[in-house]
Amino acid sequence: MIELKNVCKTYKIAKRGSSFKETFKSFFSKNYTEIKALNNVSFKINEGEIVGYIGPNGAGKSSTVKIMSGILTPDSGECHVCGMVPWKERKDYVKNIGVVFGQRSQLWWDVPVIDSFELLKDIYAVDSKTYNKNLSDLTELLDLKEILKTPVRQLSLGQRMRCEVSAALLHDPKVLFLDEPTIGLDAVSKIAVRNFIKRVNAEKKTTVILTTHDMQDIEALTDRILFIGKGQILLDGTLNELKKHGGHNKKLTVEFSGGKLERENYLSLEGLSLIDEFSERAVFLIDSEKMSIPEAVNIISKDLNITDLSVEADSIENTVAALYRKFGV
Amino acid sequence: MKKYFTFFKIRFQSTLQYRTAAWAGVATQFVWGGMRILMFMAFYEADKSRFPMEFTELSSYIWLQQAFLALFAVWTFDSEIIESITSGSVANDLLRPMDVYTMWFTKDMASRMAKALLRCVPVIAITSFLPKPYGLSLPKSFEAFLLFLITLFLGVAVLVSMGMYIYILTMKFMSAMGVRILFTNIAEFLAGSIIPLPFMPDGIRFFLEMLPFASAGNLPLRIYSGNISGNEMWFYIAVQIFWLLFLQVTGRIWLKSKMKKVVVQGG
């Protein structure tokens, strides 16, 4: 379905210092630095998969999505989606895809949502039967009935995002690219959008590629994760595999009454570290490969009068942060 | 083709919403047109023999110019297109199975025609009843009127095709403010918006009439007022069609090569 082979993309960035002299100099000759946004990126995605594409800011996520959606030409490498080269056959190709950029709107600002939808229907030459069915499905699933006749500029962010997602699906795309679709949404809207994406994937076998910083999106939606950093694919696997890579950290929360925590004692310990300290509560991080939990509790109880404790697996946010550190990205 | 028409329709409709702007425009056009007629009247009274047009022709020329100002306003660009380029939402245009040149062209045409439609009716209706020779007179013939409409449409197309260059330049420079101001000022003068072209000295006039600027706003108005007709008119229509084709073809080629290099920045 989607195949990338050794895709590279370099950006030229103009750089200068802030001093007057440098500004003056750059007037005549500019200094460019080359930034390798993508460095030999290769992967393959099959039909009907939901893939989470994660990585820190500036890792190359958006560049990859732009290449796959045909609006950016890579310097070298191959890319085939639905049997086409996106940037070469842009006009024909984009009929097959739907794209939602969380930070840009594809709806027409001044007119009611339904007008935008009608326009999309004509743009993609969707036949009336399919259009009506999709519209009524989408309206019901995403609860759009009340807002279809409202001009886009008057919608709340959550309402708008639901419309954006619908707009990307009116023409039954085979591949759906979602670039931070839940950015800025409240909990209810996030859940609505997630459930909806899942359902579309299940019912229509739509391949979904999702870039996000929201790890809950990943947990709720994807079975496969592509992890990119510094323009290279660092990991390709399931969420569990990712978690393993991220380390074996457990979070230990201790409640205590009395006793004194000697911060220095925990600085040099292998496998146990103090993260947070409050008047009657302290949070530790345990690397379970280097220290067992009873051992840790033992050490802590020397300092503190423990009244209660809880152990939990480290959050996926921290796992990812650990991965960023591990790969130095 | 249908998708471009729908595009036209939605742009047209959304421009029609701005009614207050239209009324303000109509008021400005009456005052502006009136002032220009007064100014030319002073010239006319000073020396009738050196006046290149009949005064009634001139009045028609000025009123039509005011009525259709929105069509030929060289200083207006489609702010939506400019903004989409600078903000990067042009990405959305690229994600449509459409030709970007035609899409932008349609957008700009639609907003000009919608603006003009709102503004021209009151101006034409009222100035038709002004006493001779100050008002808008009927076209010389039905044929002239028909040709006026056709050349009016082609003229807008020529102007918008020139504007397309500015949009493409915006893709290159991000802010094409400087080029726009330069273009606007030169184009206004060359198109006869400041001084109607018949008032220009002969040698310069012929040269100016050969330029695309005159093919935009000048030609249809002169056909309506009967200032040119017959073979001379057909010659200028041919020039107009030539420019339309030339600008369209070169603009499309240029945009296409630009598109290959375009980088939509940011996440």
Could you report the per-residue pLDDT of B94-117, keeping only the tens digit for each? 888 888 899 999 989 998 998 888
Residue A10: per-residue pLDDT:
87
Tell which wins on pLDDT, A57 or B235. Answer: B235
Over the stretch B11-58, which tens digit does the pLDDT of each residue have? 887 778 788 888 888 898 899 999 999 998 888 888 888 777 888 888
Select the residue of B7, B96, B261 nearest A94 (Cβ to Cβ). Answer: B96
For chain A, the domains span 47-244, 248-326
> In this structure, which CATH number among 3.90.1200, 1.10.1760, 3.30.70, 1.10.238 belongs to the domain A248-326?
3.30.70
**Which tokens belong to B23?**
């009324």
Residue A246 has pLDDT above 70, yes or no: no
pLDDT range class, residue A176, cuts 50, 70, 90: very high
Chain A residues close to B87, C-beta within 8 Å: 104
Per-residue pLDDT for A140 more than 80? yes
So what CATH class is A47-244?
Answer: alpha beta
pTM: 0.79
Residues of A in contact with B266 (CB under 8 A): 62, 103
Q: How confident is the model at residue A161 (pLDDT cuts 50, 70, 90)?
A: confident
Question: What average pLDDT does chain A have?
Answer: 86
CB pairs under 8 A between A and B: 75
Check whether B267 has a pLDDT greater than 60. no
The predicted pLDDT at position A128 comes to 93
Inspect the interface and report whether the beta carbons of A71 and B262 lie closer than 8 Å: yes
pLDDT score at A257: 87
**Distance, CA of B173 to chain centre:** 25
Closest residue, chain B, to A10 (C-alpha):
B263
Under the banding of pLDDT at 50, 70 and 90, the label for residue B265 is low
- pLDDT at position B161 is 94
Contacts of A57 in chain B (CB under 8 A): 267
What does the pLDDT look like over B138-161, one tens digit per residue?
A: 887 888 899 999 999 999 999 999
Q: Which of A122, A152, A164, A228 to mutate to test the interface with B (most CBs of B within 10 A)?
A: A122
Q: Is residue A90 pLDDT above 90, yes or no?
A: no
pLDDT greater than 90 at residue A58 = no
What is the percent of chain B with per-residue pLDDT over 70, rounded to a whole number?
Answer: 98
User: Would you say the CATH fold of A248-326 matches that of A47-244?
Assistant: no
Q: What pLDDT, in 10s, does the model give residues A15-55?
A: 777 777 877 777 777 777 888 889 999 999 999 999 999 88
Q: What is the pLDDT of residue B266?
A: 57
Question: Can you tell me the distance from the alpha carbon of B188 to that of B39, in angstroms, rounded to the nearest whole number?
Answer: 18
pLDDT at residue A247 is higher than 70? no
- Out of A87, A106, A108, the one facing B10 most closely (by C-beta) is A108
Is residue A73 within 8 angstroms of chain B, CB to CB? yes
Task: Note the pLDDT tens digit of each residue in A279-307.
Answer: 888 888 888 778 888 888 888 888 888 88
